[in-house]
Structure 1
Amino acid sequence: MAPDAANPGPDSGDVFAGGSANGRLMAAFDWSTTPVGPVETWPASLRYAVRTVLASRFPMILTWGPQYTQFYNDAYATLIGAKHPGAIGDDLRVTLAEGWAALQEPVERAMAVREASWIPQLLLLLERAGYREETYFTVSHAPAFGDGGEVAGMHAVCTEVTRQVVAERRQRLLHEVSTAAGRREDEHDLAGQVCRALATDPLDVPLAAVYLTEGDGAPLRRAAIVGVPADRLPGSAGTADELRGVAVAGLGVTGGPFGDAVTEAVVLPLSGGAGREPVGALLVGVSPNRALDEEYRTFHELLAGQVAGAVVDARAYAAERARAEALAELDRAKTTFFANVSHELRTPLTLLLGPITDALAESGGELPPAVRDQLTLALRNGQRLQRLVNDLLEFVSIESGRTAAVRVATDLPVYTAELAGVLRAAAERAGLTLTVDCPPLPRPAAVDVRMWEKIVLNLVANAVKYTFVGRIDVRLGAEDDRVVLRVSDTGVGIPAAELPALFERFHRVADSPARSREGTGLGLALVRELVGLHGGTVEVGSEPGVGSTFTVRIPFGTPDAAAPPPASPAAVRGAALTPWDDDLGWAPRPADAADPLGTVLVVDDNADMRAYLTRLLSPSWTVRTAADGQEALHDVVRVRPDVVLTDVMMPGVDGFGLLRALRAEPRTRAVPVVMLTARAGQEAAVEGFAAGVDDYLAKPFESAELLGRLRSVLERSRGRRAAGPPAPVSAPVVAPAPLPPRPRVEDAAPVYAVPPVPAPSAPTAAAWRFPSRAASIPPLRRRLRALLTEAGLAEDRVYDLLLATCEAATNAVEHAQDPTEPVVDVRVTVEDGAVEIEVRDHGQWRERTSSMDRGRGSMLMSAFADITATPSPIGTTVVIRSPRPGDDGT
């Protein structure tokens, strides 16, 4: 077509001007070889159109004539990739042959009806990078007019939105995966849900398989699969590397928008968290129409992270639920145990308390004072045990839903005053003022009198226990439509951090000063439950050092049953609630007793225990008592005792605090200390010996054993004092009398004869065989003491070796099961001051639970000598070696 003479358009040299790279290429191109002919023959409209395209920085393309000859700018050149610059002057239908099916209709429509189009996110298949690529463009097609106004071609403006479309799609999939995982505890069900979510995006995930481990080091096992038949992927793999070897091309899977074969997959570990082994692996197919570039790899990593997080959460949730179920089962078992034990205890308690009560009621005046006192002691502590059993049963019954409040019309002010009065004597002996203010209520109240008794007594007893100076106020009144009971004290108070857990069962405030460590932690928990059964609430307000106020609010209620008025509370309940109350009236040591062995200071916060030990020791010792470590320290400074016998768990200064204080003071450093405690276990005993205690005895104990240990400790103490001048004291020490001979403990069974080991003058040796019974320990102790003493060993060292050997023998008796011979063999060798003792049983080792352990064992023996234990199927041999003094660096 010849140019219009009236409107020639730009000169040939100006058509491609503007400095663009594509303009220079087009200027050098031989257009005479194309359907549009040489530039000089172009119409003005084509020249203007080409110049406009080249001047734009937005991707633009112009096709001219029926052969769709192409003209495009630099921005468009980057979109077609490797097709540039070959596409210049070529037919658009040929250049974009793979995508023409999508472009034909909008292009031809724009040229035929002269109507521009707008198509967002148009999917196009391009082969611009050497593979069939999934791409997306937002395009607009418009007619291109010739000089005469006719449609001569097509003008298109486009921009690629592939990255945006793919990113949004992948983001939606990640969201679907996280949503599908949910809060599931079955990780295999979770894997199935994840794969169903992955199936919603086959363009990015044409196939996937989730493999999970059953634990650290366990193989991978397939949990779920999508996009491929299950039999085509391995069901398990030792490692993720094995999965990477799967021949993906042979799976026959197609993917992408054009249905091309999937030939590549990635395998990603499912991280178990920092420092943990992977919980599995994720195999994901790669789309054949997207390059595995950095963005695709990041998407895979995020996907694996989502799946791994879901699996870890599922396992944590399952573990937490298992723990919760285990705790619930443990709680049920504990509740059942308490119920069973409590029921079993009631019968023997009845048979104990009944006869004792009857004996005191019928013959109390005729009994000797010592017998009457002991029966009274047994009765008091039996009643305490009965109260604890009743509390346990009450709690178990409430938790099982078998207890309901049976309300009866009650003169609540009078009854509350009587209940509070039960503890008046205990409060007054503690130097406290107990004020009870219970004026008449505006209308009758109905309560379960048995439950109300427990509520009032527990709150007032706690107030007495934790108040040292000041007063306790018990007030009953009415507020709105409720009865309000307030128990206030000027006691030690409760830290704010402890208040939320104060009414939980078995909870006790740590390190809180109190008159005693006695208690189970059930009292306040029971109060809350009993108040709740009345439809009420209990609250506490407290400030450390100021005091506490417990407030109980219950509705006035209506009677559920007709019942007689409650009986007056028995006075004995006060003793059952206050085991620290020291008003026992024990008689002093009889005047006609033999000369005392020395002075023993008994330190225990339980008044009955102090009284019992006083009566036990007073025939042989001068006994003084203290209720806690602080009181004991004042007493020791005044008159130094020969032995201190102390409990461990006491309010204020406990047993270990007392021991440290005694050892830190030069005047009391040499005072021997024996710990007598309810704490059991090897660790407790070793803790005591490590702190410097001279001996350690766990409750319950035998009186003969306690007396024997006290005598032994006194012997050792006097031996040390004889070696050097005594430490100065502020008061004279009671002169010790000669020790009486020890009582003979008869053997429970005969000792088996063993051919004696020849005993030359040096070394000394012996071998004994004893029945595997606890009664064999005393004869072993006697024989070993005689042998070691004859060998010339120091008394302290003899004592240590006796203790270690008897512990080893006790273990042999208690731990050996199914013995081939029911005996314990003991061999002793003493050579040049070095001692070796071998204790051997003939059974298989049997572990004991910590609750059965009374503080003995290898840890205790190790405090005195070098211990070697060699177990075998036919017996265990324990060797105790004590080197000659000085050989170990001492």
Structure 2
Amino acid sequence: MISQIEPCACPSQSTMSSHPQATSILTIGLTTDTAALIGTHPDWASLAPPEQTAIQLRLEQSLNQLRQQLDETYLQHLGQMTDIGHDIQTDMLKTFLAQVRQNLGNASFGIVCLSPSQSQQFISPSWASPAIEQIFTDDALHARHALQPSTAWPLTSQSGASPIGWLVLETDTANGWMQSIQQTFIQRAIGQLANVLRSAEIWQQSQAQTQALNQKNQELAQVSKLKSEFLANTSHEIRTPLSSILGFTRLMQEQGFSPDSLRHKEYLRIILTSGQHLLALINDILDLSKIEANQMDLHWSETELEPICKTAITLVKEKANDKGVLLRLDRPEDCDRINADPLRLKQMLFNLLSNAIKFTETGSVGLRLRPDGQYIRFTVWDTGAGITPEQQASLFRAYSQLPQNEDNRSMGTGLGLALTQKLADLHGGWVEVSSTVGEGSEFTIVLPIAAASGIVQPTHQVPVEMRPTPTQPMPPVEPQTVKATIPARKKFRKASRNYHLLLVEDHQPNARLMITYLCKLGYEVTWARDSKTMWKSLEQSMPAMILMDINLPDIDGLTLTKQLREHDKYKDLPIIAQTAMAMTGDKETCLEAGVNDYITKPIDLTKLADTIRQYSDPGIDR
């Protein structure tokens, strides 16, 4: 038990400040009702052997009791393994001092700790107060330790280590053999303290290492997850337009190309649009990868803002005109120059303007420049549908796209905003967003007027070019019906028409490709862009088969498949997954969800036809 604190002499402030390397003693008073370990016999030799043995036995018992108390304190901390920041040494010193006081009741002891100015304090405020500090210099402590008998002892966890504190004998009434026994007890007690402190230090180090390893493992797991997601998303985004390019090229090859054919001209337009989309996607992926790898080099130059802004407006003008959206540019005269990479600045403005037009059906889109101290604010605003707070939380995540209308659903890479944010960061700026649902949105790029410090600027002007702009998507395709005799291998269930297929696909060019090809083979195809349209179509007619795209805008195809399998009516309905998922384990994932088969994009049309024949039902005459 720790008794109340007894005050001692405290030096003046000037004395304290004159010893920058000084240490302080915090003296704890002694209890008056505690029996002393050592008696008051004047002469140890005059004691009978049984008496000497009894005293030595009491000494060993006291040391054992001390070790037991230290071990209990240590074990208490072992039960708090998650709290490695708790100061074990403080509790050890408390326990140690309490036991010394209890067994050497005729002396006043204190624990000396390093002064707070040295950023190491081992005495808790709960049992010591700055009001009772007595200053000791390091030299004074070592001098007291060298006395015979000693009045100060360093407290360390191992031999040769720097002391974590000092045990100081402040008052002492012992003499003769009692003093010798006292010195022996203190030395052995300090040895026991050192052993436990060393174990505590090892435990704390292992805890810190374990925590660091756990943190590192979590970081590596997160990196691995992000890498897998990146590869899966990249595979999907590349394979989707590639499927349209290869598919329509094959159709023209089979039919024999005719320059005057309106159908072939439409095929060529789809191929061109998909190719431009694929090129933009690859460029964005490369840019994003360079930034993530710290390999993106900005080509700084003194850039005039008027031509940059006008070029960005011109690049999106055709898309705006097609939708009847007005474009506006508001640039005050005091926003005329900035030190930046002109290509990347134009790219950022183009990304924001393209997004604004994509999500604005009527009204206007504008670019507004405003000076703001040492910065310029580039704000792209629109009168579109607006963005909810929940949607804003994922705006700048790679491959994340907001819900779009049907005509725009196949446009965009999902990388524009993520890339814009990272390019702004490289310029020493940032991106802000504000939006009101039903009224519109504002995206603001804030860039410093002067180049960031430490950037080496080239002396030459870098040529500025812009990536090709995808053209408008084709108009919606209506389902077609063509009858033909198609052999089948396996009968699964009854359908209203065994040549009726339901295609669930949100990518318009791919849907057009599959409808064209399957109708040529004699199938009737109903096209559903999303889950809502799919369920509505199923209410009207039972298809012979569902061709299910996995990546859909509202509910993914795997979830839809699981929902279908929960209905008795659809549990045996053949479902063929057609997806750009091509990573290891993706096919197994699709099969576990309940699909009957799996076709990867870009779709091999011959394999598609063979797969459909395998699962179609010949039991109903046409």
TM-score normalised to the size of structure 1?
0.42
Change (3 A) 1:415 1:657: same
Matched pairs, number: 463
Deviations 1:153-202 (A, max 9, x none): xxxxxx989479898549889xx99999xxxxxxxxxxxxxxxxxx9999
* Structure 2 SS opposite 1:573: coil
Residue aligning to 1:383: 276
Residue aligning to 1:484: 378
**How do 1:56-95 and structure 2 match up within 5 A?**
78-79=35-36, 81-82=38-39, 87=41, 92=42, 94=43
Please tell me whether residue 648 in structure 1 is matched to residue 541 in structure 2: no
Residue aligning to 1:312: 207
- Give the superposition deviation at 1:308: 0.7
* Structure 1 SS opposite 2:332: coil
Measure the CA separation in 2 of the matches of 1:375 and 1:517: 17
- Give the superposition deviation at 1:699: 2.8
Measure the CA separation in 1 of the matches of 2:366 and 2:273: 26
Contact 2:288 2:419 in 1 (8 A): yes
Measure the CA separation in 2 of the matches of 1:297 and 1:452: 69
Measure the CA separation in 2 of the matches of 1:76 and 1:414: 92
Please tell me whether residue 451 in structure 1 is matched to residue 344 in structure 2: yes
Change (3 A) 1:376 1:324: same
Letter in 1 for 2:333: P
Please tell me whether residue 573 in structure 1 is matched to residue 477 in structure 2: no
Letter in 2 for 1:436: L
Residue aligning to 1:130: 56
Contact 1:517 1:649 in 2 (8 A): no
Please tell me whether residue 551 in structure 1 is matched to residue 444 in structure 2: yes
Contact 2:480 2:519 in 1 (8 A): yes
Measure the CA separation in 2 of the matches of 1:670 and 1:549: 49
Give the alignment's Cα RMSD to 1 decimal. 5.9
Residue aligning to 1:694: 596
* Structure 2 unaligned spans of 5+: 1-28, 63-100, 123-144, 162-178, 452-456, 487-497
Larger Rg: 1
Residue aligning to 1:678: 580
Residue aligning to 1:619: 520
Residue aligning to 1:814: none
Letter in 2 for 1:313: A
**How do 1:499-538 and structure 2 match up within 5 A?**
499=393, 502-503=395-396, 506=398, 508=400, 513-514=403-404, 516=409, 521-538=414-431
Residue aligning to 2:504: 603
Contact 1:513 1:651 in 2 (8 A): yes
> Quick one: percent identity of the two aligned structures?
18
Measure the CA separation in 1 of the matches of 2:277 and 2:34: 97
* Structure 1 unaligned spans of 5+: 1-57, 60-74, 99-125, 136-158, 181-198, 209-224, 228-256, 261-286, 576-580, 720-734, 738-890
Deviations 1:559-614 (A, max 9, x none): 988979978x78x6134xxxxx64158798698x8468722222212112112212
- Give the superposition deviation at 1:318: 6.3
- Give the superposition deviation at 1:687: 4.4
Deviations 1:835-857 (A, max 9, x none): xxxxxxxxxxxxxxxxxxxxxxx
**How do 1:751-770 and structure 2 match up within 5 A?**
none
**How do 1:806-825 and structure 2 match up within 5 A?**
none
Deviations 1:624-673 (A, max 9, x none): 32322222333333444332212011111332344355556677666532
Please tell me whether residue 392 in structure 1 is matched to residue 285 in structure 2: yes
Contact 2:356 2:365 in 1 (8 A): no
Letter in 1 for 2:509: D
Measure the CA separation in 2 of the matches of 1:78 and 1:667: 89
Deviations 1:482-520 (A, max 9, x none): 242223464463546964x7546x3738xx644558866
**How do 1:647-796 and structure 2 match up within 5 A?**
647-660=549-562, 662-663=564-565, 671-680=573-582, 684-715=586-617, 737=622
Measure the CA separation in 2 of the matches of 1:165 and 1:711: 100
- Give the superposition deviation at 1:693: 2.9
Letter in 2 for 1:382: G
Measure the CA separation in 2 of the matches of 1:131 and 1:667: 89
Match of 2:314 among 411, 414, 418: 418
Measure the CA separation in 2 of the matches of 1:77 and 1:668: 86
Contact 1:598 1:736 in 2 (8 A): no
Residue aligning to 1:493: 387
Contact 1:475 1:487 in 2 (8 A): yes
Measure the CA separation in 2 of the matches of 1:611 and 1:316: 55
Residue aligning to 1:583: 474
TM-score normalised to the size of structure 2?
0.57
Contact 2:38 2:104 in 1 (8 A): no
Letter in 1 for 2:284: D
**How do 1:840-855 and structure 2 match up within 5 A?**
none
- Give the superposition deviation at 1:438: 0.9
Q: Name the one with the larger strand percent.
A: 1
Measure the CA separation in 1 of the matches of 2:155 and 2:400: 58
Contact 1:485 1:551 in 2 (8 A): yes
Change (3 A) 1:614 1:477: same
- Give the superposition deviation at 1:676: 0.8
Letter in 2 for 1:474: G
Change (3 A) 1:514 1:590: closer
**How do 1:152-167 and structure 2 match up within 5 A?**
162=104
Contact 1:468 1:491 in 2 (8 A): yes
Contact 1:413 1:439 in 2 (8 A): no
Measure the CA separation in 2 of the matches of 1:641 and 1:652: 22
Change (3 A) 1:619 1:328: closer
Residue aligning to 2:536: 634
Deviations 1:48-92 (A, max 9, x none): xxxxxxxxxx99xxxxxxxxxxxxxxx799447455xxx5xxxx4
Change (3 A) 1:635 1:595: same
Residue aligning to 1:44: none
* Structure 1 SS opposite 2:433: strand
Residue aligning to 1:271: none
Measure the CA separation in 1 of the matches of 2:218 and 2:571: 50
Change (3 A) 1:521 1:164: farther
* Structure 2 SS opposite 1:583: coil
Contact 1:459 1:524 in 2 (8 A): yes
Measure the CA separation in 2 of the matches of 1:589 and 1:390: 37
Letter in 1 for 2:369: G
Residue aligning to 2:327: 436
* Structure 2 SS opposite 1:423: helix
Contact 1:178 1:310 in 2 (8 A): no
Contact 2:577 2:599 in 1 (8 A): yes
Contact 1:488 1:550 in 2 (8 A): no
Contact 1:643 1:673 in 2 (8 A): yes
Measure the CA separation in 2 of the matches of 1:166 and 1:517: 84
Measure the CA separation in 2 of the matches of 1:691 and 1:318: 36
Q: Name the one with the larger helix percent.
A: 2
- Give the superposition deviation at 1:309: 0.9
Measure the CA separation in 1 of the matches of 2:46 and 2:362: 102
Measure the CA separation in 1 of the matches of 2:537 and 2:525: 12
Deviations 1:200-234 (A, max 9, x none): 999687995xxxxxxxxxxxxxxxx769xxxxxxx
Letter in 2 for 1:531: A
Residue aligning to 2:73: none
